Structure 1
C-alpha cells in the first residue's frame, strides 16, 4: 500500500488517520503494517464502505477537503469496493538506525562480510552481493531498470536482491534508484580492502 510523501508527513503528525482505497479484495489487514519513507505505518480497522457511508469526519481524517476530492482520488472499476483503513504512525523504521551505524568495529565488519559471503555461497547463480553493492555505489540515483539491465537481471529479481541488502541496512531507496547507506559504504570499503581483486 503506497502513500504520497505529503500524506505520510501528515500521518506522522496525527493529522491523517484514515486512508481509502478501491480494491477488489482488501490488500492489507488490521494489525498489519508497512515500511515507508517516514517509518512504520500500522493499519487499524479495515472496512468495506459505500460512498454514502463516508462521512464528513472521514473526509477530514483522510486529509481531504471534500468527499468529491476523496472519491476522485480512488481507482475506478465496477468490480472494486471502497475500503476504509485506519492508519497510524508506529515509529521509525529499525533499518534507518541500522543504516546510519557507520562506526563499525573490525569485528563487526568481519561479521558483515561473513554474512554476505554466506549469502553468496548459498546462491545458485554465484556471488552477487558485492557486485550489487559496487554497482549501486558507482551509480546512485540511477533507475533500477537500468541497473538490472547492466547486470543482465530481470527487474523484479534485481529489486529483490536490493531489498535483501536493505534488510541489513546496506542500501537506501531514493525517489529514483538507490544509494549505499553509511553502513553500506563502510562494509563495501572493508570488502574491497580485504579482496580488491574480486570483480564487480
Structure 2
C-alpha cells in the first residue's frame, strides 16, 4: 500500500501515544488530501507542529484565511486536529499520525481513481523536492554528498517477491523512525534524510512472457 509521510514524520504529542498511520479509503478524503497545499500543511505539521493558521501562512506564503480553510478540510477527514490551547485563529493544529496510507488497488472505480490521483500528486511532490535538493547540492558538505544515493535497479520479480522486498526494506528503516520522536536516540551528526521508495512494473522493457 502507498505510505506517505507528506515528507515529514512527526513526533507524538507530549504524553500521548500517536498512531503510526492513518488510512484513507473514502474517495472524498483521497481527493481532499491530493491538494498541493494540504500535502504541504500536513508535512509541515509533522515536522514543525503544532502551529496556528497564522504560522502556517508564514511558512507557506499563503493567506491566513486560505490556510485556515485547508486545515479545516484536513480535520474533516481526520488528518489533522486541534491541539490544546489557543483561541480563534490562534488555535494550534497538529497532525493526527506519522504517516498516511491509502489503497494500492480497489474494485471500486471511484476509490481507484481517487487513490491513483493521490499517488500521482505525492509522486510529483517527491520529485519537486528531490529536484530542488539536486539544484542546491553544491552547498551540501562533502561527506553528505558522498553518502547520498541515486540509482536504480531492474529486477525480474513476481508480485509476491516484490511485496516481500518492500516489507524487508520497511523492516530495515523502522528502527530509525524512533529517532524522530526521541532526540536522545540520534547520534552526533545525524541529520534529516528523505528516503523515497519507488517500485513499479516497467512496461517499457520488453519481456519474453507469453500473452
What range describes the TM-score normalised by the shorter chain of this pair?
Answer: 0.3 to 0.5
Structure of greater relative contact order (alpha carbons < 8 Å, 6+ residues apart): 2
The structure with the greater share of residues assigned to helix is 2
**TM-score calculated relative to the size of structure 2:** 0.33
**TM-score calculated relative to the size of structure 1:** 0.35
> Which of the two has higher C-alpha Rg?
1
The structure with the greater share of residues assigned to strand is 1
